[in-house]
């Protein structure tokens, strides 16, 4: 059985998918918590970044431990984290431009 990585038309395409997913996840999570929590924006960005990073680690750990056809991949963690970091950077830039 071929897994998603082997089916990539272009090598590393799944890493772009991971980055994009975590970029969107981080933005949406931030916007949701911004309405629900009374926390300074700089702290909220850090909390969301740490939450997304932790979630990505947990998912990769579970893939490695609880599945037979999937494996944990540190490159997925790096791609996830880069997407989240980019989202936090975009949020920071937007806040700076508003001032």
Total structural domains within the chain: 1
- Name the residue range of residue 52's domain: 26-98
pLDDT exceeding 90 applies to what percent of the chain?
A: 80
How far is the C-alpha of 13 from the C-alpha of 81, rounded, in Å? 16
How far apart CA 74 and CA 60 sit, in angstroms, is 8
User: Is 57 among the domain residues?
Assistant: yes
Q: How confident is the model at residue 74 (pLDDT cuts 50, 70, 90)?
A: very high
Mean pLDDT of 31-60: 96
Q: Is the pLDDT of residue 1 over 60?
A: no
pLDDT (average), residues 85-94: 98
In a domain, residue 15? The reply is no
């Amino acid at each position: 059985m071929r897994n998603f990585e082997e089916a990539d038309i272009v090598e590393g395409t799944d890493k772009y998918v991971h980055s994009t997913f975590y970029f969107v996840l981080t933005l949406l999570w931030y916007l949701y918590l911004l309405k629900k929590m009374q926390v300074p924006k700089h702290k909220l960005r850090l909390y969301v970044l740490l939450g997304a990073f932790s979630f990505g680690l947990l998912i990769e750990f579970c893939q490695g431990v609880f599945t037979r056809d999937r494996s944990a991949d540190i490159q997925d963690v790096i791609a996830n984290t880069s997407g989240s970091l980019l989202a936090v950077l975009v949020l920071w830039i937007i806040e700076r431009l508003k001032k």
